[in-house]
Chains A and B, each alone.
Chain A
Amino acid sequence: MLDTLASLSGGFETVLTFHNIVLIFLAGIIGTVIGALPGLGPSAGIALMLPLTFGMPHASGLCLLTGVYMGTMYGGRITSILINTPGDAPAIITALEGYPMMRQGKGGLALGISAISSFVGGFFGLAVLVFFAPIVAEYAIFLGPPEYFMLMLVGLSTIVLLAGDDVFKALIVTCFGFLVSTFGSDYISGHIRFAFVPELIEGIDFVAIIIGLYGLGEVFYNLERKIVLNLGKPNFRFSDYIPGKEDLKQASGPTVRGSVLGTFIGILPGAGATIATFLAYALERKLSKNPENFGKGAIAGLASPEASNNAAVPGSLIPLITLGIPGSGGTAIMLGALIMFGLQPGPLLMIQSGDVVWAMIAGLILANFFLLASNVLLIPLFVNMLRLVQKHLPSIVVGLCIVGAFSLNYGTFNIWIALIFGVIGYLMRKNDYPTGPFILAVVLAPLAENYFRQSIMLAQGSWSIFINRPVSLTLVVFMVLVVCASIISKQLLRRRRVGTE
């Protein structure tokens, strides 16, 4: 413990120079802006900043990249809450509760709560990174395909919680999500599935789907219904943007739970922040005394996923630093950066280049503080900017969505995809088909399919591998319990509702 603290203080000594402090502050702001732009997430943010690190000292370069990474997690929530267009995948869940809050005139409050939850989540993840990284990483490598498959199934079982009133509709959109995820190269056999055009060889870009489903879908729905936002006139009373005691009390429990969940999901390679947010949301809905408030601006449903997605960033750095395994797209580019700097990611990194790694961790801690301050201070700016342009929002959102989809591969293909999913999103919204299970299936189905087929291959065609391994068996039991508890509680709630009517 004392060794760890000594190493961390050494990291702070390296980082606390005027040049590095300014660099980390700017990295946070740049990450926030990139995260807020539809189509650009952590991977794009880090990749765009990579050329700037050439020639920088290693510690400064890594601080810049990790600061951008952390900043994108803060930024993703801004457009989610304000215009229902998630900047990146982990911010999808934020839109489910944040946007309804914004429509109720509580956009500033939603941004405030999510900024504080993001800070707490990031801080918790960093604490685990500092004190428990080697221990946790040691256990994480013992999980094999069967355990990962069961983990994905646990994630998919939360569809029951995201389903809404009509399970049939939820199952339809889930199957649709599964099918959408099957496009492109099959990782196990190399077979190319449903590549009707060459662009589909790599599959359908998930970000194009969310841009269409949420951004364009919302615009189409509002256009048809002639809904015009009325957010009032701009004002700069700071008290409107800072959460009160009662709001913070409501957010505290979910924030802590989201932080813990996000960190541990983030550690698992391949799982990442998006899955952490879905699980955190499902958990809060399960624990809530008023689950019917979810989807209408529930603070718990906003705070927990936000905490989990920021906690997943330090979490995903644990396997990267200790084992050299990137757990997500963002950390994969970070791995490239480490190699580019001449560092050797893996178990020896902390021994051979401990000074650089500890400086990076210290930089992340500093970035987290800067990001909280800048994000809270910038809330009035964001909200009032939205108030100023609210009458022109449809064309602004369409413009951002089109350019965001274009920036995915510098071609029009993803804009067509976004348009198609915009129409689908509009039709789903109009007919009360939930989007949550669809997105969850699109995210988890390819992972679940790969792990499932790898597991069966490992067991030479036998299914017993899922119950012969203790961790896998535990997850099977847990999943069955989650599904049963959800169905029973839904039935009880329905009976109670019928009784009161």
Chain B
Amino acid sequence: MKNSPLSFFDEMQINLADTDAASVRAIYSDYNLWLKSVPHHQLNSKRQEAELLFRRVGITFNVYGDDDGAERLIPFDVVPRILAAEEWSRLSAGAIQRVRALNMFLHDIYHRQEIINAGIVPASILANSQYRPEMFGVDVPNQIYAHIAGIDLVRTSESQFYVLEDNLRTPSGVSYMLEDRKMMMRLFPELFRRYSIAPVDHYPQVLLKNLRAVAQDGVHEPTVVVLTPGAYNSAYFEHAFLAQQMGVELVEGSDLFVQNNSVYMRTTQGPQRVDVIYRRIDDDYLDPLVFNADSMLGVPGLLSAYRNGGVTLANAVGTGVADDKATYIHVPAMIKFYLGETPLLENVPTYELSKPDDLAYTLARLPELVVKEVQGSGGYGMLVGPAASKKELADFRLRIIANPSNYIAQPTLALSTCPTLVEQGIAPRHVDLRPFVLSGKTVTLVPGALCRVAMKEGSLVVNSSQGGGTKDTWVLQEAIVDNSSASATLDNNVEEAVTC
């Protein structure tokens, strides 16, 4: 089944078949004029310049299973995704609402479990492999579990956004949001004069402020560190980047040790106490004494120190239970339960294949659906029905039947497209959006996001591990004057804040 391009919402063109200037959406009209005035080869040379700079700066990632272990660039697209101020305020309010509810859910599920007692979330969630019984009854500062959350959003029409998934463990990609912006300002300064684009580069400062705010009581000048699995991790650049931007140490597991429930790092002047660890290592590898005993990445005794209040981990241990695909379906109900509010952002309709009816429906319509592993991530282990071959469909069908509860299914969403520079020129490619929500004393997000783009024509998979690229995301500070509607100026407050 091949969709005609007309069935997709395009961020720039009202009608993709009509390239007339009149068919361009108001927020893109200035950009479109500029784009028309720039010859293709010039855009191409800008793209090459960007690649050269990224390579020189070492903004690269490692791909697992790649033999040569070479560092690769994530393709960078020079055409930005533009969001109107009012669109952004709606999305950010929805993302903040969602993260507040998810943090309350995590606190609840590791304490009184009221949401289970109320019958809103089934007790089977406690058997989920991402649920950490070690965390039961443990109090974390400010009751925050997901200090950094990446909320994946997709758009299917002018007004319809969906939350594709929540990333509450160690979401990555924010360095691309920041570096893509820097690159765009360097390549196209004239565009930044034409448009009033909300800045994003204070993200590391907000992050640091939040991390310092969640130190244990009584620590006045908390020492914050970033914990990385090391230089061979696929996101090492980002770990190094954030540590540098925050001015804190980038540590590996072997740099830390635990003594009397406190964590220390080995420095040239002897041991130094560590209060807050922004860890970019999964739960399973954090502490070889408790989790994966073979892990060389973690710190022996870390979990015990953590549970006894000797150190703060961000994100907390055990957040995986809340971003699991089996939990995802309950998030709208959580928002109502904990906040008494109507969800501002919608979930994608989801079929749980553990339910016989949903399973039967899914198997009958496999070629139309997207099927995902409940605990998969990074675009691995997933079936995109419309793009799959007969053989792939047949193979996946067998895997589903063998273990239905391992899968969920969703309708194939008509992900919006955004103009993108490809070999033939500018062409529409599918995109998603990942804003990063930060929770400390307040819940905030900077006005920007990681925008991922599937570089292959027609592809709906935007993950970098599957060849996806990134775009700069522009949130406009002021509403654009449209012929059909009166202008409205939002106040200059670029950060939305909700006090916990």
Do A and B associate with each other? no
